[in-house]
Structure 1
Amino acid sequence: MPRKVLAIVTCMASLLLVGSQPAFAQDAYGFQTYLTQLRAAALAEGVGAETLDRVLPTLEFSESAIRIDQKASGGGGTGPIPMFTGSDEQRAIVGKAGPGRDKYLQIKPQLDQIERELGVPPGIILAIYGKESNFGSYTGNFDTISALATLAYEGRRRALFESEAIAALKMVDRGVPRYKLTGSWAGAMGKPQFLPSVYLRLAVDEDRNGFADIWDSEADAMASIANYLVAAGWRRDRPWGVAVDVPAGFDRNAYRNLTVPTRCPRVFERHTRWLTLAEWERLGFRAQRGFWPQEKDQILATLLEPDGPGNTAYLLTQNYRAILDYNCSNFYAMGVGLLADQIQP
């Protein structure tokens, strides 16, 4: 073949090869270019140049994080609301109650101390621990900064993931060992599955060793969960909710919530307006356990019927709202509350 023709054929083949490369292979190249943008943004946020020079060259494009994120983001959330009974959340209560009770006995002194300090009962802390990381048995094996930087580069939710990537860089800049930063594909880390920004705000060094180690210290992780709930509005003087029987003829429309929340509207549209527990009692609601909490005249609650009319309903306090802040799902919050009651009756 003449040399000139060979050169033309070779050039065309190279162009075809580049065009046929997987999108992720091309993205991996672009990712390295994006890191210069991330560096500038991190510098502007106060991350030290030495930290960035040390960490950024270690970051790798995570194809897996993008694939999982694309799959996880596919649901529209507009279908009929399913029943809580028979759901995965309800089934998880059965599977985690025994291990939760075992864990309670194992670290009871720590949990009791945290309750004295922060007012969050051990059962609630352990229920979240169980649901987030199966009591620490699985916390994720993604490199946190690489995964967050990749998702920021991918661009669909750049503002969110770039800010979390910078928060993770701040953690390293402030002394958190680089190797500790591992977790889920979306950046949730350690036993409580905290995002980096949450770690910076709320992680607690409960064992007083100079480092809030939510990966390997159960004392730190449990106190950090409790501290998160307190910051979200948890009150030590009230339950998360009360299981009740709804009186016959109750006019649900008369007590529906007329406000439109800006956050998680599909979650909160199922709740009624607030009344005190004493007011609910006067309407004919009866606690299934045969008693009402003390201070029922001061405790506000909303009504939720997770399985619809004719089934067990719940009057939910602001402590339930604190659980929702951890994960804005009625099924999640109901699962935490009911699992907590099984762990610590």
Structure 2
Amino acid sequence: MPSFAAFALALIAAQTPQLPYDLPASPAPTVATPPAPTIDSQQAAFTAFIAGLRPRAIAAGVNPATFDRETTGLTINPRVIRADRNQPGGPALGAPSGNLNFAPYRAQHFDAAHIAGGQRRYVTLRPLLSSIEQQTGVPEAMMLSLYGHETGYGSFSGNLDLLQSFATLAWDGRRRELFTVELIDTLKLIDRGIPRSTLKGSWAGATGYPQFLPSVYLRLAKDGDGDGKADIWRSEPDALASIANYLVDAGWKPNVVWGVAVQLPADFDRASIRSPLISPRCPRVHARLSRWQTFAEWKARGVIPLAFPGLRDDEQMTLIEPDGPGARAYLLSSNYQVILDYNCSNFYGLAAGLLADAITR
């Protein structure tokens, strides 16, 4: 069926008198192209935008002197804008999903270097990790896995000035409210005594060993070494305790595995397990997951676990085939959903779970 726009254009054409063939067409009117904004005009608009945030920041509790000092001289970072605009999109919601093609990502993030690095850190950090697990119920290896995925066990965490990144992203406007909040929360961290020189991170503002946004730090960062501070930039105990606290806050269930690899029967009916739900958060990511059923119901369908994870028969699970039918499939628990809360990507969630399993294997 033609679209409404196509129908409207056809209707307009039908009602417009047609010129004889031998009459010359009138030249198209010349439309002046507005000049591209200059760097100076962009910077002036940026400076005015940031100045306009001052009342809101002060109302949120930022010291006026902090706002004035830290925002004076701020400039746009074009690198941050390019990175934000070049984010991969993915298929439109409701379009055929195709295969995820997890294998290349798995090879890069679940490799010998990540596994060996995690195992080495596990040996040295075991007393600390064990203590955090006893307090939170979050497995030692899962804390380490996220630490490894986010910053290579502390080897890299970003070097861009958070305040400049958030100011640039808020001004650019694609997700203005999100980044305005993070800009104000960065100023709150400075008010708390955290030097701006410490507040470095990715282009999107993730910072420290756990790669928290400032709003997440303010809500969930933990003191893991007992010195009265939550230093996620230099203290591994603080970073790991903060990661565990994040997972607990997101709903981590103790003594439940994140997932298990499974084998499906040759005649498996995939249409019958399609989920009718649309997630309000990361809908494309969750659309890859099946409807939820108990572990017992999956086994009754002929799904065979390839490990013995100690799952109860009444545990609710969802299924994913990240490389398409015929390749490896996984049953995933609610704890997998918690990992997606940390980083909403099925690639990330699967690789994080697999690495956690391998660290303590």
The TM tier, using the shorter chain, reads 0.7 to 0.9
1:230 is displaced (CA, Å) by 1.1
1:292 is displaced (CA, Å) by 4.5
Aligned pair count reads: 322
Q: Pick the aligned partner of 1:44 from 59, 63, 67.
A: 59
Q: Name the SS for the 2:244 alignment partner.
A: helix
Change (3 A) 1:59 1:106: farther
Q: Pick the aligned partner of 2:264 from 226, 235, 246.
A: 246
Q: Pick the aligned partner of 1:172 from 165, 190, 196.
A: 190
Looking at structure 1, the residues matched to 38 and 133 of structure 2 have their Cα atoms a distance apart, in angstroms, of 51
The superposition leaves residues 214-270 of structure 1 with CA deviations (integer Å, 9 ceiling, x where unpaired) of: 100001111111111111111112000011111232222122211121222221122
Looking at structure 1, the residues matched to 142 and 321 of structure 2 have their Cα atoms a distance apart, in angstroms, of 21
Q: Name the SS for the 1:179 alignment partner.
A: coil
Letter in 2 for 1:340: A
1:42 is displaced (CA, Å) by 0.5
Q: Is the contact between residue 176 and residue 211 of structure 1 (CA under 8 Å) also seen in structure 2?
A: no
Indicate the residue corresponding to 1:125 in structure 2.
143
Looking at structure 1, the residues matched to 292 and 98 of structure 2 have their Cα atoms a distance apart, in angstroms, of 25
Q: Name the SS for the 2:72 alignment partner.
A: helix
Indicate the residue corresponding to 1:324 in structure 2.
340
Indicate the residue corresponding to 2:9 in structure 1.
none
Q: Pick the aligned partner of 2:310 from 285, 293, 297.
A: 293
Looking at structure 2, the residues matched to 37 and 127 of structure 1 have their Cα atoms a distance apart, in angstroms, of 41
The superposition leaves residues 281-323 of structure 1 with CA deviations (integer Å, 9 ceiling, x where unpaired) of: 222221112x2414x1331111111122222211100100000
1:52 is displaced (CA, Å) by 1.8
1:58 is displaced (CA, Å) by 5.7
Does structure 1 residue 339 correspond to structure 2 residue 358?
A: no
Looking at structure 2, the residues matched to 120 and 188 of structure 1 have their Cα atoms a distance apart, in angstroms, of 22
1:80 is displaced (CA, Å) by 4.1
Q: Pick the aligned partner of 1:222 from 202, 216, 240.
A: 240
Aligned ranges 1:5-24 → 2 under 5 Å: 23-24=38-39
Q: Pick the aligned partner of 2:89 from 72, 75, 78.
A: 75
Does structure 1 residue 308 correspond to structure 2 residue 344?
A: no
Letter in 1 for 2:226: R
Letter in 2 for 1:218: E
Looking at structure 1, the residues matched to 267 and 231 of structure 2 have their Cα atoms a distance apart, in angstroms, of 53
Q: Pick the aligned partner of 2:114 from 96, 109, 125.
A: 96
The superposition leaves residues 159-218 of structure 1 with CA deviations (integer Å, 9 ceiling, x where unpaired) of: 111111011112222333332211111111011110111111111111121211110000
Indicate the residue corresponding to 1:16 in structure 2.
none
Q: Name the SS for the 1:328 alignment partner.
A: coil
| Percent of residue pairs bearing the same amino acid type | 48
Bigger mean CA offset, 149-158 vs 182-191 = 149-158
Looking at structure 1, the residues matched to 99 and 165 of structure 2 have their Cα atoms a distance apart, in angstroms, of 32
Indicate the residue corresponding to 2:216 in structure 1.
198
Unaligned 5+ segments in structure 2 are 1-34
Looking at structure 1, the residues matched to 89 and 299 of structure 2 have their Cα atoms a distance apart, in angstroms, of 39
Change (3 A) 1:292 1:70: closer
Q: Name the SS for the 2:110 alignment partner.
A: helix
Q: Pick the aligned partner of 2:177 from 136, 152, 159.
A: 159
Structure 2-normalised TM-score?
0.84
Q: Is the contact between residue 24 and residue 63 of structure 1 (CA under 8 Å) also seen in structure 2?
A: no
Looking at structure 2, the residues matched to 146 and 280 of structure 1 have their Cα atoms a distance apart, in angstroms, of 50
Change (3 A) 1:325 1:259: same
More helix per residue: 1 or 2?
1
Letter in 1 for 2:351: G
Indicate the residue corresponding to 2:131 in structure 1.
113
